Amino acid sequence: MHPIRITLALTVGLLFAGCSSRTATFPGFSDPEVWNAMVTVAKNPEYKDWFVFENEVWTDRPSGEIEIHRFLRRDLVRVGQDPERQEERWNFQIAFQHTDPPTIGFSARQAKIPAHLWREADRYFADMRSILGIEPGAGVAEVEVIDLDATELGDGDADLDASESEEVSVEAVEVDVELIDLDGR
């Protein structure tokens, strides 16, 4: 096999396998409350447009881990087309991270398209919020923290206060493009 094809195949494989986890934090709730919500959502999945045919759940309270194997099926009907049978198999691991506030890690134990995994993680966390009585849009959201050096911000932007940092400006940027004719003989 050609080395470029091997490199491309490995890159695509890493892309699908590398982005398969999400986390959510539940401030204001105790560890037992969050654990009970985790187990309840794992054992009683609710899907709007899928039927759950299998839902195997293994819980391990001392380690704070839940393993879920799920088989879903639906018939997708589009106007003017025959129904299309769709099936999905999911293998998740939900991990209770003993932090304050309680944080939950969701990871897939299979290679899937990252956006599909994120959608499933977001669905799981939304069901947990519902069980815990958190209103949708109540200010609780997954946050990915990115630490920046002051040198990365440049020109003294590190000294901005909170009100100034919320402002966003949009400017048009000029880009010089030089076309090279590789076939120009």
Q: Which tokens belong to 141?
A: 């959201």
- Residue 81 has a CB neighbour count (10 Å cut-off) of 8
Average pLDDT over residues 163-177: 49
Average pLDDT over residues 34-53: 91
Q: What is the model's pLDDT at position 150?
A: 39
Q: Is the pLDDT of residue 37 over 90?
A: yes
- C-alpha–C-alpha distance, residues 120 and 34, integer Å: 18
Average pLDDT over residues 142-154: 40
Contact partners, residue 55, CB within 8 Å, separation at least 6: 43, 45, 68, 69, 70, 71
Quick one: CA dihedral 6, 9, 11, 13, positive or negative?
Answer: negative
Average pLDDT over residues 2-26: 64
For domain 3-132, which CATH number applies: 3.30.530.50, 3.40.50.720, 3.30.470.20, 3.40.50.970? Answer: 3.30.530.50
Q: Where are the domains of the chain?
A: 3-132
With a pLDDT cut of 90, the percent of the chain lying above it is 32
Q: What is the model's pLDDT at position 183?
A: 55
pTM for the complete prediction?
0.62
Give the range among 9-23, 75-89, 136-150 with minimum mean pLDDT.
136-150
Quick one: CA dihedral 42, 118, 114, 144, positive or negative?
Answer: negative
The pLDDT tens digits for 72-104 are: 999 988 899 998 999 989 898 999 988 888 999
Give the pLDDT band of residue 71 (cuts 50, 70, 90). very high
